[in-house]
Amino acid sequence: MAEPYYTTAAALRTALGVSSGTLSDGAATTIITQAEDWIDNLLGGWYPDETTGRKILQADVLAWQWEKLGRATITAASALYNVPTLLTAAQYRKQAGPDFSVEDPQGGGPLAPAITLLNASGLRKLTGRAVAGRRPVARDRHFQYGDCD
Q: How do residues 1-29 score in pLDDT, each as one tens digit?
A: 567 899 999 999 999 999 999 999 999 99
Answer with the residue of higher pLDDT: 121 or 130. 121
Nearest to 89 by CA among 72, 74, 110: 110
CA distance 132 to 149: 9
Which residue type does 71 have? R
Specify the DSSP class assigned to residue 94: E
Instruction: Give the confidence band of 143 by pLDDT, cuts at 50, 70, 90.
Output: low
CA dihedral of residues 122, 14, 33, 68 (deg, nearest 10) = 0
Mean pLDDT of 71-87: 92
Q: Which residues of 42-68 are buried (b: 16+ CB within 10 A; e: fewer)?
A: bbeebeeeeeeebbbeeeebeeebbeb
Percent of the chain surpassing pLDDT 90: 44
**Where in the chain are the domains?**
9-142
The predicted model gives 59-68 an average pLDDT of: 94
Distance CA 64, CA 147 (A): 24
